[in-house]
C-alpha cells in the first residue's frame, strides 16, 4: 500500500473491510428510546434493574437522553457504572450481559465515539462518490474528513486522546464476549449485538495498531493523520513499528464470539482471507 499504508489502513480497514455491504452494522449506536427525562439524582440511587429497564438496552435501542444524563456529572457516571459493574460480576447471565453492554454504551458516548460511528452511515456513500471511473485513488484527507468530526480531524491532541480512549475499551468488549461465552454463546434477549460487534471491531482494530517507540497508539495515528492531511504522499511509517495485522482480527476470540452471536461470522472470516 505504499508509504502511507499504516495510517490509511487504520482509517480504511473498519470502513471497507468490515462494513461494506453489511447493513446490519450500519446504524446509530445511541438511538432515542423516548423514555422521558431521567434525573441524575434518581439515576445515582437506582438499582441495576431500574437502570437496565430505563436505558432501553434490552429493547435494542438505548435512550440518548438517558446516556447524556448519566454523563452530565462525574458523580452520576461513577455511581451508575459502579452499580452496573456489580451486576456484571454477580448478576444472572442475561443481567450481566445487559449491564456490560450498557457500560460499553456509556463509555463509548463518554469519549465521543458515537459521533464517529454515526459518520459511518455516510462514509461509504462518500467514498463511492469520491472514486472515479478511471481508478483515481481517494486522497487520505477525504477519508479522514468523512469519517472524523472536525474536532478530531483537525486537532491532533483531541484525536490522540480519542484513539487511546478507544483502545482502553478493549477490556470492556472482552468482558462482554466472555459473558456470552459463559452462557453457551446465547445472547441476552433484546441486546443489539450486531451494533456491539461494530463497536468492538473498531476497538480491536485500534488495539492491534503498533506505534513506534515514544508514541502512544493515539499519538502515532494522530501524527500520521495530520501529516497525510497536509501532504497525501507523506511518509508516516516512522510513527508505526509495523503494519497492522488486519487478518489477525478474524482469529480474535472476542470478535469471533460477538460476530457469531450476531450472525455475522462470515463477514469476520473475510478479514482472514476466507471466502
What confidence category does residue 135 fall into, taking pLDDT thresholds of 50, 70 and 90?
low
The full set of domain ranges for the chain reads: 5-272
Query: What confidence tens digit (pLDDT) does each residue in 245-264 have?
Result: 888 888 899 999 999 998 88
Statement: residue 173 has pLDDT above 50: yes
SS (H, E, C) the chain: CCCCHHHHHHHHHHHHHHCCCCHHHCCCCCCCCCCCCCCHHHHHHCCHHHHHHHHCHHHCCCCHHHHHHHCCCHHHHHHHHHHHHHHHHHCCHHHHHHHHHHHHHHHHHHCCHHHHHHHHHHHHHHHHHHCCCCCCCCCHHHHHHHHCCHHHHCCHHHHHHHHHHHHCCHHHHHHHHHHHHHCCCCCCCCCCHHHHHHHHHHHHHHHHCCECCCCCHHHHHHHHHHHHHHCCCCCCHHHECCCCCHHHHHHCHHHHHHHHHCCCHHHHHHHHCCC
- The per-residue pLDDT for 137 is 62
pLDDT tens digits, 71-123:
999 999 999 999 999 999 999 999 999 999 999 999 999 998 866 766 665 66
pTM over 0.85: no
Amino acid at each position: 500500500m505504499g508509504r502511507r499504508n499504516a495510517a490509511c489502513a487504520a482509517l480504511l480497514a473498519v470502513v471497507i473491510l468490515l462494513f461494506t455491504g453489511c447493513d446490519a452494522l450500519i446504524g446509530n449506536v445511541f438511538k432515542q428510546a423516548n423514555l422521558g427525562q431521567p434525573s441524575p439524582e434518581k439515576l445515582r440511587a437506582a438499582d441495576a434493574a431500574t437502570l437496565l429497564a430505563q436505558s432501553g438496552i434490552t429493547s435494542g435501542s438505548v435512550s440518548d437522553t438517558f446516556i447524556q444524563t448519566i454523563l452530565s456529572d462525574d458523580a452520576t457516571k461513577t455511581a451508575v457504572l459502579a452499580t452496573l459493574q456489580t451486576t456484571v460480576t454477580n448478576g444472572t447471565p442475561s443481567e450481566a450481559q445487559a449491564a456490560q453492554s450498557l457500560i460499553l454504551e456509556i463509555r463509548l458516548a463518554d469519549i465521543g465515539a458515537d459521533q464517529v460511528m454515526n459518520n459511518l452511515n455516510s462514509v461509504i456513500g462518500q467514498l463511492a462518490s469520491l472514486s472515479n471511473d478511471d481508478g483515481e485513488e481517494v486522497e487520505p484527507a477525504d477519508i479522514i474528513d468523512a469519517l472524523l468530526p472536525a474536532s478530531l480531524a483537525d486537532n491532533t491532541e483531541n484525536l490522540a486522546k480519542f484513539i487511546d480512549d478507544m483502545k482502553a475499551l478493549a477490556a470492556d468488549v472482552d468482558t462482554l464476549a466472555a459473558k456470552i461465552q459463559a452462557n453457551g454463546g446465547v445472547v441476552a434477549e433484546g441486546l443489539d449485538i450486531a451494533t456491539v460487534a461494530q463497536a468492538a471491531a473498531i476497538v480491536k482494530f485500534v488495539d492491534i495498531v503498533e506505534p513506534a517507540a515514544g508514541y502512544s497508539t493515539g499519538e502515532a495515528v494522530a501524527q500520521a493523520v495530520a501529516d497525510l492531511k497536509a501532504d497525501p504522499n507523506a511518509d508516516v511509517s516512522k510513527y508505526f513499528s509495523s503494519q497492522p495485522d488486519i487478518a489477525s482480527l478474524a482469529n480474535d476470540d472476542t470478535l469471533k464470539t460477538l460476530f457469531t452471536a450476531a450472525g455475522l461470522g462470515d463477514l469476520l472470516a473475510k478479514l482472514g482471507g476466507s471466502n
